[in-house]
């Protein structure tokens, strides 16, 4: 097989959560370009349908499944519908997640409900999706799972509780999946995105990427080629890894301008 062919995903089926916008939509388009069929999932059906239309414009095939990925029954139904429509699931892209109400507040003000919701949205959801799809993959003897964490899963953040804790859990959950299910033919890896702002306000918050070593923030389309690579035969020997796509932020002394600001004191 020629090297370029190893990056192709012709005839394969990817189940992609959080596909309605942002990085999820960008990855859906890249998967379609590589020849994969896309089962897109998110809470908002209208956004999913927009993604499916964009996939169709590129000559691809996509279906939309509105799903609450924190609901075990809904996740099982999502996987069942994907298999019913496409006959298989070759790739699970666990992308759904996001900031949680309560992050940004002092810990003593955090409620139990805020903690549980933040953990469920960013970690439990990935467990539920993996649990639902693994029997199908192990029965076939092949499959790829890619979990999306964050650079904040590899460092702390001021008044950031659920998000950093959940994303750190995703990193080690990925490793355990790789160790446990690798012998059954299932590869599992993790992508840790850096700063990918989707609004002018977010871009301003991150100072346009001033503190990122490459000198700019991430562009949504850049996630797609990495996702395709990790899903393809070109990455057949890669499993259990977390790959940071952050412009070198984690390599910097003060990563991405998010080093803690502290009051200076005189040495004693």
Q: Please give the chain's pLDDT, 268 residues, in tens.
A: 788 899 999 999 999 999 999 999 999 999 999 999 999 999 999 999 999 999 999 999 999 999 999 999 999 999 999 999 999 999 999 999 988 777 788 999 999 999 999 999 999 999 999 999 999 999 999 999 999 999 889 988 888 899 999 999 999 999 999 999 999 999 999 999 998 887 777 777 777 777 788 888 899 999 999 999 999 999 999 999 999 999 988 887 555 545 544 454 454 4
Catalytic residue among 31, 163, 181, 211: 163
Helices of type H across 72-161: 72-86, 112-119, 125-140
Question: Which residues lie closer than 8 Å to 178 by C-beta, 6 or more apart?
Answer: 187, 188, 189, 239, 240
Nearest to 170 by CA among 220, 114, 112, 130: 130
Pair 144, 187: CB distance under 8 Å? yes
Q: Is 31 a catalytic residue?
A: no
Name every residue whose Cβ is closer than 8 Å to that of residue 85 and which is 6 or more positions away in sequence: 39, 63
Give the list of residues 6+ apart from residue 80 with CB closer than 8 angstroms, or none.
none
Contact assessment for residue 24 and residue 191, using Cβ atoms and an 8 Å cutoff: no
Distance from C-alpha of 32 to C-alpha of 27, rounded to nearest angstrom = 9
Residue 27 CA to residue 225 CA, distance in Å, equals: 8
| CB-CB contact of 14 with 36 (8 Å) | yes
- CA–CA distance, 149 with 146 (Å, rounded to integer): 10
**Burial classification of residue 59, based on how many CB atoms lie within 10 Å of its CB (0-12 exposed, 13-18 middle, 19 or more buried):** exposed
Rounded to whole angstroms, the Cα distance separating 73 from 232 reads: 30
């Amino acid at each position: 097989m020629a090297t370029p062919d190893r990056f192709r995903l012709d005839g394969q089926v990817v189940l992609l959560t959080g596909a309605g916008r942002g990085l999820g939509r960008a990855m859906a388009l890249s998967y379609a370009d590589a020849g994969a069929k896309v089962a897109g999932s998110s809470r908002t059906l209208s956004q999913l349908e927009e993604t499916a239309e964009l996939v169709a414009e590129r000559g691809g095939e996509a279906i939309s499944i509105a799903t609450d990925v924190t609901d075990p029954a809904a996740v099982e139904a999502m996987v069942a519908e994907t298999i019913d429509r496409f006959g298989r699931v070759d790739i699970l892209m666990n992308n759904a997640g996001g900031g949680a109400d309560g992050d940004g507040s002092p810990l003593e003000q955090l409620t139990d409900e805020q903690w549980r919701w933040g953990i469920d949205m960013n970690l439990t959801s990935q467990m539920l999706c993996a649990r639902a799809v693994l029997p199908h993959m192990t029965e076939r003897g092949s499959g790829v799972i890619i979990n999306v964490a964050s650079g904040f899963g590899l460092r702390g953040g001021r008044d950031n509780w659920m998000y950093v804790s959940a994303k750190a859990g995703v990193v080690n959950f990925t490793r355990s999946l790789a160790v446990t299910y690798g012998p059954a033919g299932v590869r599992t890896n993790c992508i840790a995105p850096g700063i990918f702002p989707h609004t002018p306000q977010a871009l301003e918050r991150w100072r346009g990427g001033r503190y990122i070593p490459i000198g700019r923030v991430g562009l949504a389309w850049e996630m797609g080629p990495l996702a395709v690579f990790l899903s393809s035969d070109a990455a057949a020997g890669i499993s259990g890894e977390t790959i940071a796509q952050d412009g070198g932020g984690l390599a910097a002394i003060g990563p991405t301008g998010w080093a803690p600001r502290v009051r200076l004191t005189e040495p004693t």
